[in-house]
């Protein structure tokens, strides 16, 4: 059956500005809205949303654009049918009219995970001993309910039977969702057994996977204390942050994110009133995790376990975050193993620790250089640790920051700034592998450089003309110098005719969307002068380009021995040259 009707119905019922605004901060910009693009790093907003046309477009280096469906697909890294189901639910549009065959393709993995979540929740209520154990760890019934914790029975086919017999799901689809696996004998076994279940949700709150913590009485040491759903079509633990769907608005409001290591740390923090908290889902922090947070804030606070492994994780996380230009602080739970233990013992203590949070470099100073006089007397170790700290300072993107921390370091180790600067100049900074730029991710400057100069001038002239009628009239005698694509956009804009070409319609709309932002930063008195100068440059560049075309024609005619044609083009070359001189 055709799915055009539900798509149009969804588009009619939802507002793209509200949908995108639930993911990133958007601000009014004339008739449109603008934001920092969530798909590439930038400091100046180049991401525009048109409420009139219900479309978005990035004018930065990624140059992406589309409708609400394409935004959700790209932001959530999902297929079209998954985006359709999510938006249908937001819009209150029923998809039940689809045939069973069509229904199956629309997010079956979401349905299976949701059914599994409900099953695990019921099992927890049926097992008071397990519920009491969770409460003994410090969680209240309200927190358990809010985060929909559950229990996977210590059985081999509990979830498989439930989903096949009650949910009527295919066993192969259950395997695709990562809830069971096929044994060598060809039978299916539940992946999670005897475990407390933490549902993991995507940005919209849809369950996409689970973390299971072994109950102590079933812990034989043969399996990990924590296991996660495997990678599936909808779950990638290197991209998903536990609790992000609940925390994202609080992160934006509070202007910083608190990142902890585990689910229990997060749940205890939220229970204690800290709502802007996220956790990694059974994996080390990745650049993708940080890019997700970067869409909400530039400020991050890390609070990891107090053991050596936690400190190493903190160091690695700082380096990743600094490479993405975050402002980083470290919250240390000084007298406790982790945030969960601290809160259980002293509710409210995390707020005290947060006020004492260290700058990233202060953390490095404490970790590598605060070991007393005996440490300074150990020359090899002191030299090694000082080298590490100098490397961290040199990696800072800001020269002002580097100067500040060199000054602080000089006072700490009683060595002159000059000597430290000299030593730092010899240090080589190693950029983490996953932070090294991919070749295909061109910068805005590289993208712009690939365009012809005349194209850049034509774009600018057209956009300025679209915001001022006198400019559009002034462009009339220069329109002949516009490259073909821009001439079509100009003609369409001036003639206001019905346009049948969808590509031309998109081009025209894109120019109009960006037009309002083009002169925001220019003194109104200087706009007229700039426009006149651009017109002169447009004419000059067009004539230069024509000169080059004619020169190529002359050379070709000469190679072919066609004297008559060569003379014709020589005459034309002279005419163009005279125009250039005027």
pLDDT value for 365: 92
| pLDDT at 449 (0 to 100) | 40
pLDDT for the residue 434: 55
pLDDT value, residue 574 = 75
- pLDDT confidence of residue 106: 47
Most confidently modeled of 20-24, 132-136, 322-326?
132-136
- Using pLDDT thresholds of 50, 70 and 90, give the confidence band for residue 242: very high
> Concatenated DSSP letters for 409-458?
HHHHHT--HHHHHHHHHTPPPPPPGGGSPPTTS--HHHHHHHS-HHHHHH
Q: What is the pLDDT of residues 25-38, one digit of tens each?
A: 899 988 889 998 98
H helix or E strand, kind and range, residue 81: helix 80-91
Lowest mean pLDDT among 73-82, 128-137, 432-441: 432-441
To the nearest whole percent, how much of the chain has pLDDT over 90?
36
pLDDT band at 451 (very low <50, low <70, confident <90, very high): very low
Residue 247 phi/psi, 5-degree rounding, is -90, -20
**Residue labelled with tokens 């994780």:** 313
Q: Do 6-91 and 244-356 agree at the fold level?
A: no
pLDDT confidence bin for 512, thresholds 50/70/90 = low
User: Do the Cβ atoms of 327 and 125 come closer than 8 Å?
Assistant: no
Sheet holding 299-303, edge to edge: 241-242, 277-280, 257-260, 299-303, 327-330, 358-359
Q: Lowest-pLDDT range, 145-159, 331-345, 431-445?
A: 431-445
Give the whole-angstrom CA distance, residue 64 versus residue 451.
17
Per domain, the residue ranges of the chain are: 6-91, 100-228, 244-356, 367-426, 453-581
Confidence band, pLDDT 50/70/90 cuts, at residue 79? low
Give the H or E element holding residue 507.
Answer: helix 502-518
Residue 258: pLDDT above 90?
yes
Span 244-356 CATH architecture: 3-Layer(aba) Sandwich (3.40)
- Whether the per-residue pLDDT at 127 is higher than 90: the answer is yes
Confidence check: pLDDT of 557 > 80? no
Q: Which of 321-325, 383-387, 456-460, 513-517 has the lowest mean pLDDT?
A: 513-517
Chain center to CA of 149: 28
CATH number of 100-228: 3.90.980.10
Tokens of 522: 């220019």
> HEC string of 322-379?
HHCCCEEEECCCCCCCCHHHHHHHCCCHHHHHHHCCEEHHHHHHHHHCCCHHHHHHCH
- Integer-rounded Cα Rg, in Å, for the chain is 31
pLDDT at 23 over 80: yes
pLDDT band at 507 (very low <50, low <70, confident <90, very high): low
The average pLDDT across 478-493 equals 85
Write the pLDDT tens digit of every residue in 94-125: 765 544 554 454 468 889 999 999 999 999 99
What CA–CA distance (Å, rounded) separates 28 from 61?
22
Lowest mean pLDDT among 262-276, 393-407, 556-570: 556-570
Superfamily of domain 6-91: Zinc finger, CHC2-typedomain (3.90.580.10)
What does the pLDDT look like over 330-371, one tens digit per residue? 999 988 999 999 999 999 999 999 999 999 999 999 888 876
Residue 198: both structure tokens together: 């933490």
Q: What is the pTM of this model?
A: 0.65
Torsion of CA 286, 292, 296, 301, to 10 degrees: -20
């Amino acid at each position: 059956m055709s799915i055009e009707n539900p798509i149009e119905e969804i588009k009619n019922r939802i507002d793209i500005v509200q949908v995108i605004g639930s993911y990133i901060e958007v601000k009014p910009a004339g008739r449109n809205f603008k934001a920092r693009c969530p798909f590439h790093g930038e400091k100046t907003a180049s991401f525009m949303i048109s409420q009139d046309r219900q479309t978005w477009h990035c004018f930065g280096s990624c140059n992406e654009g589309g409708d609400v469906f394409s935004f959700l697909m790209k932001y959530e890294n999902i297929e079209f049918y998954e985006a359709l189901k999510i938006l249908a639910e937001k819009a209150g549009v029923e998809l039940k009219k689809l045939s069973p065959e069509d229904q199956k393709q629309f997010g079956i993995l979401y349905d299976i995970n949701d059914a599994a979540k409900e099953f695990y929740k019921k099992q927890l209520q049926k097992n008071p001993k397990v519920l009491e154990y969770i409460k003994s760890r410090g969680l209240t019934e309200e927190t358990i309910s809010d985060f929909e914790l559950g229990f996977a029975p210590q059985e081999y086919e509990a979830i498989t039977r439930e989903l096949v017999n009650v949910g009527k799901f295919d066993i192969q689809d259950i395997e695709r969702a990562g809830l069971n696996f096929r044994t060598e004998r060809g039978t299916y076994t539940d992946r999670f057994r005897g475990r407390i279940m933490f549902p993991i949700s995507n940005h919209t709150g849809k369950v996409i996977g689970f973390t299971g913590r072994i109950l102590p009485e079933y812990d034989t040491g043969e399996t990990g204390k924590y296991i996660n759903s495997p990678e599936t079509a909808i779950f990638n633990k290197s991209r998903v942050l536990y609790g992000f769907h609940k925390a994202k608005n609080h992160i934006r409001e509070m202007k910083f994110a608190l990142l902890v290591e585990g689910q229990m740390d997060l749940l205890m923090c939220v229970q204690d009133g800290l709502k802007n908290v996220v956790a990694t889902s059974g994996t080390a922090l990745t650049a993708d995790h940080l890019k997700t947070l970067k869409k909400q804030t530039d400020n991050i606070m890390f609070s990891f376990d107090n053991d050596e492994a936690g400190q190493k994780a903190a160091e690695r996380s700082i380096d990743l975050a600094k490479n993405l230009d975050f402002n980083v602080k470290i919250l240390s739970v000084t007298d406790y193993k982790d945030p969960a233990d601290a809160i259980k013992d002293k509710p409210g203590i995390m707020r005290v620790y947060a006020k004492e949070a260290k700058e990233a470099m202060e953390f490095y100073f404490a970790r590598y250089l605060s070991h007393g006089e005996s440490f300074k007397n150990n020359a090899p170790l002191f030299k090694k640790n000082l080298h590490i700290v100098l490397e961290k300072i040199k990696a800072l993107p800001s020269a002002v920051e580097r100067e500040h921390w060199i000054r602080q370091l000089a006072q700490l180790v009683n060595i002159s700034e000059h000597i430290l600067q000299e030593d730092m100049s010899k240090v080589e900074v190693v950029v983490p592998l996953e932070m090294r730029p991919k070749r295909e991710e061109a910068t805005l400057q590289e993208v712009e450089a690939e365009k012809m100069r005349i194209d850049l001038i034509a774009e600018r002239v057209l956009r300025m003309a679209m915001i001022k009628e006198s400019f559009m009239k002034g462009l009339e005698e220069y329109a002949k110098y516009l490259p073909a694509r821009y001439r079509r956009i100009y003609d369409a804009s001036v003639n206001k005719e019905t346009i049948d070409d969808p590509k031309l319609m998109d081009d025209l709309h894109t120019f109009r969307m960006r037009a309002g932002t083009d002169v925001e930063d220019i003194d109104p008195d200087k706009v007229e002068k700039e426009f006149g100068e651009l017109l002169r440059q447009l004419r000059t560049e067009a004539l230069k380009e024509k000169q080059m075309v004619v020169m190529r024609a002359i050379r070709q005619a000469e190679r072919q021995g066609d004297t008559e044609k060569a003379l014709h083009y020589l005459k034309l070359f002279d005419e163009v040259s005279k125009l250039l001189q005027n």
